[in-house]
């Protein structure tokens, strides 16, 4: 299936439901262990139960929710012991994705990445809330993954970045210098935009390593 250029994608109701519920789970707006109600989600999203049900099936596969017989469906817990496993995968795939994005990004992708770079370097970035900064972090990662033009790599890394972000949200109050961590994306975006695959890979690896180190220091 051909993917639309950034900004012009038309998505189904099920996809809308999936993205909205996914991000609530990732940002811990739906807290770990909280029960999941199809009816409440459908009402809050202004959607029917069918697209919400389809979305929940995908989210269960992605380990963001879990269903138990006779108990119901719940947001999964955030387990810090999974950090090493996630980092092991991400340290292999994040540099690959950054390099491939530098090689393969279309003009449309580079426009989107440049807009994110400008947002990162805005003078007000340091005064933004932790939630705003984390949402910007998600946007940057997802834009780089999309620029790889490899849907399998993109889907895999979105999945792992979502899980990593949940860990980050859990410990956000213990992590100083968040603006600086997000700011690390600036050089990475410049490398991708410039088509410097080696530099992009190096910076991506350093970023994942720094994330794991910061989380372990906060635990």
Q: Read out DSSP for 27-56?
A: TTSS-TT-B--HHHHHHHHT--HHHHHHHH
In the chain the domains, ranked by start, together with CATH numbers, are: 13-75 (1.10.10.10), 80-218 (1.20.120.530)
DSSP character for 175?
-
In whole angstroms, what is the distance from residue 13 CA to residue 212 CA? 35
- Three-state DSSP at 198 gives helix
User: Rounded to whole angstroms, what are the CA distances from 171 to 25, 36, 82, 114, 216?
Assistant: 15, 23, 14, 30, 10
Both tokens of 118, joined, read 């400008």
Banded model confidence at residue 180, pLDDT cuts 50, 70, 90: low
pLDDT, one tens digit per residue, over 72-114 is 999 999 988 888 899 999 999 999 999 999 999 999 999 999 9
**Which residue matches tokens 């999309």?**
146
Q: What are phi and psi for residue 33, nearest 5 degrees?
A: 85, -5
Q: Does residue 166 contact residue 134 with C-beta atoms inside 8 Å?
A: no
Q: Among candidates 64, 94, 79, 205, which has minimal Cα distance to 157?
A: 94
Q: What is this structure's pTM?
A: 0.87
What are residue 64's phi and psi, to 5 degrees? Answer: -95, -20
Question: Sorting pLDDT into bands at 50, 70 and 90, what band is 189?
Answer: very high
Number of Cβ within 10 Å of residue 59's Cβ equals 22
pLDDT of residue 63: 92
Q: Which residue has the tokens 């009816």?
A: 39
Distance CA 127, CA 63 (A): 33
**Averaged pLDDT score across all residues of the chain:** 89
Q: How far apart are the first and last CA of the chain?
A: 43
Nearest Cα neighbor of 109 from 18, 202, 200, 27 is: 200
pLDDT confidence bin for 168, thresholds 50/70/90: confident
- How far apart (Å, rounded) are the C-alpha atoms in residues 212 and 214? 5
Structure tokens at 58: 């995908």
């Amino acid at each position: 299936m051909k993917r639309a250029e950034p900004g012009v994608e038309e998505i189904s109701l099920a996809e809308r439901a999936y993205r909205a519920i996914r991000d609530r789970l990732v940002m811990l707006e739906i807290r770990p262990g909280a029960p999941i109600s199809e009816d409440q989600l459908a009402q809050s999203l202004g959607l029917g139960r069918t697209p919400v049900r389809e979305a929940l099936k995908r989210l269960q596969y992605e380990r963001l929710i879990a269903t138990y017989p006779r108990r119901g469906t719940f947001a999964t817990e955030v387990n810090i012991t999974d950090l090493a496993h996630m980092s092991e995968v991400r340290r292999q795939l994040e540099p690959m994705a950054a390099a491939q994005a530098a090689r393969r990004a279309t003009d449309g992708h580079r426009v989107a990445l440049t807009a994110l770079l400008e947002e990162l370097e805005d003078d007000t970035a340091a005064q933004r809330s932790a939630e705003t900064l984390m949402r910007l972090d998600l946007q940057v990662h997802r834009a780089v993954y999309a620029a790889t033009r490899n849907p399998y790599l993109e889907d895999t890394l979105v999945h792992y970045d979502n899980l990593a972000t949940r860990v980050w949200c859990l410990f956000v109050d213990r992590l100083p210098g968040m603006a600086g961590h997000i700011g690390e994306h600036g050089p990475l975006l410049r490398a991708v935009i410039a088509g410097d695959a080696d530099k992009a890979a190096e910076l991506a690896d350093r970023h994942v390593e720094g994330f794991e180190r910061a989380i372990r220091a906060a635990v």
